[in-house]
Chains A and B, each alone.
Chain A
């Protein structure tokens, strides 16, 4: 089963980071090519694994490509990697965005060596979160991510970058402080750090030492900060707005997915009955996130901040899908994480491009760009339409599954009502996306943007890569849902669905 594929995928970016940091001094072109190589190989390998993944119904709930080795004997911690239907798409997404982030960063010319070293290290840590099957390893990877983000925002960011960076660190560490307490409680109530073992035996015995609900919420706080769930969301607009483009892409694309992934993998899988008991609260928070996020997005005048707030709204759908606790809704939530990663990743990349070419990020001063930058306009509009859930884009498939799944879920009382409220979010989204497109690209062209550069070859390459995947998932969602179902079905089994 082993064969080291996952280890290779996981550590290639880190190896590239070390190589760049210590060997390649001040040779910018070589550094960029090295970074591209050390992120492309993991992408290729993860696509191969995606193709090799056993999709037969018997494989439901099975962890594939496992690798396991004793890591720290005295505390019984293992180096244990593996993927199932839930983590496989997220691994592919991370590898994909990791490679594209390098391409997006091609124009970076300040402290190049450090920048790419941190960016690659960031990719390894995110991959590690999705691949780990040992709680300690999971937590280590979860924490490592903070340091590259701190530097990336702080040095290469814009605006109030120092404030945003430290706010990000403090919020994240605050969340993971509770998560660590939860993991330790889990470790001592079950005597194991293996996610698989704990998931299997359930937590019937937990009652004896401390209430399962307490552990559930300790873990949940950590994930809620990351996702982010209202009221823990305030770090996100700041971090997104002030981060450099490629980092915003990684942040919106995969980093915040760690929260949703953790909720399904740990909270729901290990504490199904607690999840059911408290689902209503979380669903309500999800709806608040959806509507509040959308309403605030409407009011933004900063281009990037707007996309940032829209993420809060879209992550509300993920939370709704997870805690509606239905089979279809959970699949929808997982698909929404993937889709949002692509769509928002593309949106941030495009915003970055527009800002770079026009040197303007205030929506009120942009306008009529469609004439000057037609390619950017087309791709931007596509991304926007995917974000508002136009059929044939991945956004539609995901949101549709979330809403249908939540509406038909039988686990949470009054869920139909909440779902309908959530659907209102889509209406508002359509409003702000179209309004934004109108304000930026249409209307009379402005003189000062004459001669603004359109996308160059490299930019077209990554734009079309994004668009192709978005359309592929939108037209044929089964390519992912078949895989996701295999990962979700055991969770649903625990919920009695």
Chain B
């Protein structure tokens, strides 16, 4: 039970926040209670790093370094989201308690997603996350937000159904729901049975489709722009970073624990991911170019970023057994992406709430009106392009090197050319901020909590870009459980 303290803390704090909301007038305490809960959970999780623990709940939850890595990542992102929400929540003053509680519960769901080793538990964790997020997306209650929430709910439900169907097929074929046991069954198969058993093949394809929705890979990305635009900006940030990371956590675990071993099998799904990567990168980048709304633009860019991440998945599929470069590359990329995208969205929260609009043209002259915010946003955008000295460069270098190592040079060339395309639309924002005429000389205010969050993100972006060694080492340790 001791291994479950972080999760229990989150549930308890969520409950406390809702109850407190009934009694206190000073709503800012809610944020502080939530943050302290996240800090406690994070501290306990970090303390568990490196230990060898048995799996808990009749083998349904693993407490390995991989799970711990993601738990710390989700807690950290939630921490930043709550810090940056403190200004924003005034827009829905009556529901602050529910807001924070739902963020905590979604985080809990993601932590469980990273830890589960059983198909049924994965599904339950996924739904816990999703339902919290459906509600959060609709929190603004205006027309756009409601539409986004409904769209997310409907499409998400379809994705869930597809996923569940895929799981059922895999279960039907192997008779197991435990990932390790599925792997054992598959390893006894003679090669080429995959094509002879369309059920399993179908199951895997449906799993890819279901998770493809979560990570916003093309062609399952249709919901992204509208939902990103309509959701409250901190929740957009949360969706683009944490929910995507959770999707990748599950994919890594399922595809490596269950379908990783017979090489003929892993190379097949490796190619599926390679194809999806090409589609996501190219379509995401090209459709991002004409966007006038910065949240939509970042929505499309996050589709492209999922594409780069899938290059890592493809590399992982192509690798034979012993190499963890692909997995640790994905983990490192997710970490650096978390800092980068959170940073970008936090800057946008500050600027857009002043402008009361998300249009890129409104950012004109921000370099004069809010030099530090503009500088931070510029750094994050440079990181998203993948240029040094920001974290994004190291992340891409690391992931692409895995791909080259496993013979996917063609894929890497497509990916780096895509990075060039992305430079065009990211720099457009930079250009507007530093070269455009300011609409007014008014300064852009931001709260201390938000500035702290932004500062942490920028430090993270620079540290991961300049001395990434430590984080890479952690990612390798977290991924090392995948070596047979």
A454 at the interface (CB under 8 A from B): no
B198 at the interface (CB under 8 A from A): no
Bound complex: CA of A143 vs CA of B417, how far in Å?
14
Query: Whole-angstrom distance from the CB of B193 to the nearest CB of chain A?
Result: 31
| A71 CB contacts on chain B under 8 angstroms | 467, 469
Give chain B interface residues in 419-470, CB to chain A under 8 Å: 419-420, 423-424, 427, 431, 434-435, 467-469
Q: Are B423 and A170 in contact (CB under 8 A)?
A: yes
| B413 CB contacts on chain A under 8 angstroms | 177-178, 181
Give chain A interface residues in 138-160, CB to chain B under 8 Å: 139-140, 143-144, 146-147, 150-151, 154-155
B239 at the interface (CB under 8 A from A): no
Query: Whole-angstrom distance from the CB of B379 to the nearest CB of chain A?
Result: 10
Bound complex: CA of A291 vs CA of B104, how far in Å?
68
B54 at the interface (CB under 8 A from A): no
- Which residue in A143, A154, A170, A177 is a CB contact (below 8 Å) of B393? A143
A414 at the interface (CB under 8 A from B): no
Q: Mark A182-204, 1 if CB is under 8 A from B, else 0.
A: 00110110000000000000000
| B423 CB contacts on chain A under 8 angstroms | 169-170, 173
A424 at the interface (CB under 8 A from B): no
A166 at the interface (CB under 8 A from B): yes
A459 at the interface (CB under 8 A from B): no
B397 at the interface (CB under 8 A from A): yes
Q: Mark B381-396, 1 if CB is under 8 A from A, else 0.
A: 0100001110001100
Bound complex: CA of A136 vs CA of B468, how far in Å?
13
Q: Are A74 and B473 in contact (CB under 8 A)?
A: yes
If A147-B387, A166-B424 touch, does A75 touch B382 (CB 8 Å cutoff)?
no
Q: Mark A80-122, 1 if CB is under 8 A from B, else 0.
A: 0000000000000000000000000000000000000000000
On chain A, the number of residues with a Cβ less than 8 Å from chain B's Cβ atoms is 31
Q: Are B397 and A210 in contact (CB under 8 A)?
A: no
A54 at the interface (CB under 8 A from B): no
B377 at the interface (CB under 8 A from A): no
If A154-B435, A174-B417, A174-B420 touch, does A136 touch B397 (CB 8 Å cutoff)?
yes
When C-beta atoms are compared, the residue in chain A nearest to B404 turns out to be A184
Bound complex: CA of A181 vs CA of B412, how far in Å?
7
| A155 CB contacts on chain B under 8 angstroms | 434-435
Bound complex: CA of A210 vs CA of B328, how far in Å?
25
Query: Whole-angstrom distance from the CB of B222 to the nearest CB of chain A?
Result: 29
A72 at the interface (CB under 8 A from B): yes
Q: Are B427 and A166 in contact (CB under 8 A)?
A: yes
If A71-B469, A169-B423, A170-B424 touch, does A177 touch B431 (CB 8 Å cutoff)?
no
Q: Are A72 and B468 in contact (CB under 8 A)?
A: yes
B472 at the interface (CB under 8 A from A): yes
Q: Are B398 and A75 in contact (CB under 8 A)?
A: yes
If A140-B389, A169-B423 touch, does A74 touch B469 (CB 8 Å cutoff)?
yes
When C-beta atoms are compared, the residue in chain A nearest to B418 turns out to be A177
Bound complex: CA of A465 vs CA of B241, how far in Å?
54
Q: Are B420 and A173 in contact (CB under 8 A)?
A: yes
Q: Are A185 and B404 in contact (CB under 8 A)?
A: yes
Q: Are A177 and B419 in contact (CB under 8 A)?
A: yes
B405 at the interface (CB under 8 A from A): yes
Q: Are A74 and B400 in contact (CB under 8 A)?
A: no
Bound complex: CA of A324 vs CA of B88, how far in Å?
65
On chain B, the number of residues with a Cβ less than 8 Å from chain A's Cβ atoms is 32
- Which residue in A73, A75, A143, A144 is a CB contact (below 8 Å) of B401? A75
B476 at the interface (CB under 8 A from A): yes
Which of B398, B400, B409, B476 has the most CB atoms of chain A within a 10 A radius of its CB? B409
Q: Are B398 and A151 in contact (CB under 8 A)?
A: no
B40 at the interface (CB under 8 A from A): no
If A74-B473, A144-B389, A185-B404 touch, does A154 touch B431 (CB 8 Å cutoff)?
yes
Q: Are B401 and A177 in contact (CB under 8 A)?
A: no
B416 at the interface (CB under 8 A from A): yes
A375 at the interface (CB under 8 A from B): no
Q: Are A147 and B393 in contact (CB under 8 A)?
A: no
Q: Are B420 and A188 in contact (CB under 8 A)?
A: no
Bound complex: CA of A128 vs CA of B312, how far in Å?
30
Q: Are B420 and A170 in contact (CB under 8 A)?
A: yes
A180 at the interface (CB under 8 A from B): yes
Bound complex: CA of A71 vs CA of B211, how far in Å?
36
A162 at the interface (CB under 8 A from B): yes
| A73 CB contacts on chain B under 8 angstroms | 469, 472-473
Query: Whole-angstrom distance from the CB of B475 to the nearest CB of chain A?
Result: 8
Query: Whole-angstrom distance from the CB of A30 to the nearest CB of chain B?
Result: 19
If A140-B389, A188-B404 touch, does A180 touch B416 (CB 8 Å cutoff)?
yes
Q: Are A184 and B412 in contact (CB under 8 A)?
A: yes
- Which residue in B387, B405, B431 is a CB contact (below 8 Å) of A162? B431
Bound complex: CA of A177 vs CA of B472, how far in Å?
23
Query: Whole-angstrom distance from the CB of B325 to the nearest CB of chain A?
Result: 9
Q: Are B400 and A180 in contact (CB under 8 A)?
A: yes
Give chain A interface residues in 47-84, CB to chain B under 8 Å: 71-75
Q: Are A162 and B435 in contact (CB under 8 A)?
A: yes
| A147 CB contacts on chain B under 8 angstroms | 382, 387
Bound complex: CA of A140 vs CA of B389, how far in Å?
7
Q: Are A140 and B393 in contact (CB under 8 A)?
A: yes
Bound complex: CA of A146 vs CA of B387, how far in Å?
9
Q: Are B469 and A143 in contact (CB under 8 A)?
A: no
When C-beta atoms are compared, the residue in chain A nearest to B403 turns out to be A184
Query: Whole-angstrom distance from the CB of A427 to the nearest CB of chain B?
Result: 39
Q: Are B409 and A185 in contact (CB under 8 A)?
A: yes
If A74-B476, A181-B409 touch, does A150 touch B427 (CB 8 Å cutoff)?
yes
Q: Could you jot down 11 A-B contacts, CB within 8 Å?
A: A72-B469, A74-B469, A139-B388, A140-B388, A143-B387, A143-B393, A170-B424, A177-B419, A178-B413, A180-B416, A181-B412
Known contacts A74-B476, A188-B401; 14 further A-B pairs (Cβ under 8 A): A72-B467, A74-B328, A136-B397, A140-B389, A144-B387, A144-B389, A146-B387, A155-B434, A166-B424, A166-B431, A174-B417, A177-B413, A177-B416, A184-B412
Give the top 10 A-B pairs by smallest Cβ distance, nearest first: A177-B416, A74-B472, A184-B404, A140-B388, A173-B420, A72-B469, A188-B405, A73-B469, A143-B388, A181-B413
Q: Which residues of B contact A (CB under 8 A)?
A: 328, 382, 387-389, 393-394, 397-398, 400-401, 404-405, 409, 412-413, 416-417, 419-420, 423-424, 427, 431, 434-435, 467-469, 472-473, 476
